[in-house]
Amino acid sequence: MVPPVLTCLIGRNLGTGIGSLDHFDLRDLAASLLHHLCNKYSKYSHNLKPRLARSCLKTFLDPKKPFGSQYGAILGLRAIGGAEVVRQLILPNLKAYEELLKDELQENSLKKAEADKVVAAILDALGTLVDDDLPMLNGHSEDAAADVRTKLIEKVGEVIGNKIADSGHTQLAKAVLDSDLPAI
């Protein structure tokens, strides 16, 4: 069952063709199926999660893959292991990944819509890093907010760093800044 689910998740060409964003719905469904399969069968097959994570990470980091495949890879990594996989495999590679996103987010094209979907998937995956037990932080001065923005940009790049800083989600910013892992 895993190969067809993985194909629907990170396959290059899915859907009706150019101009269609329908394949994102299929990738969302495939990620939820992958999550279910991992939860149910990883205790019987100990190398299931590492093999799937390797496939998804390889797709995420390949600049020749289309944004749809990279979107699916991000969803897949999150589905495989939640916050820990996001912390260890996605977060350390965001600054390098930004170079691929930056140019496409400037243009007004189909690729911009796909790049926006990838950014949303990344922010959603980073949201798993937030610990609900962290106290809410209120009353930041503008200097503190600028300092947090600068640190975020240094850590995850300008695109994602600015999105996190602009969201005002201080717990997410703290969770991202507190995760110190080297890029893979």
Residue range 82-117, pLDDT digits in tens: 999 999 999 999 988 988 888 778 766 668 888 899
Checking phi first, is residue 183 left (phi over 0); if not, alpha (psi -120 to 50) or beta? beta
Does 133 have pLDDT greater than 50? no
pLDDT for 52-90, tens place per residue? 999 999 999 999 999 989 999 999 999 999 999 999 999
Residue 18: pLDDT over 70: no
Highest mean pLDDT among 37-41, 136-140, 165-169: 37-41
Rounded CA separation 150/144 (Å): 10
User: Can you tell me the distance from the alpha carbon of 127 to that of 17, in angstroms, rounded to the nearest whole number?
Assistant: 31
> What DSSP designation does 86 have?
I
Q: Which DSSP string do the residues of 12-46 spell out, in sequence order? A: S--SS-TT--THHHHHHHHHHHHHHHHHHHTTT-T
pLDDT > 50? residue 134: no
**Which of 28-32, 114-118, 120-124, 144-148 is the least confident region?**
144-148
| pLDDT value at residue 181 | 55
pLDDT at 89: 94
Give the single-character DSSP code of 109. S
pLDDT at 21 over 90: no
Rounded Cα–Cα distance for residues 156 and 94 (Å): 5
Domain annotation for the chain: domains and CATH numbers: 2-178 (1.25.40)
Q: Give one DSSP letter per residue of 120-155, joined into a string.
A: HHHHHHHGGG--TTSPP-----HHHHHHHHHHHHHH
Rounded to a whole number of angstroms, the distance between the first and last alpha carbons of the chain is 29
Closest CA to 161 of 171, 169, 151: 151
Per-residue confidence (pLDDT) for residue 20, from 0 to 100: 59
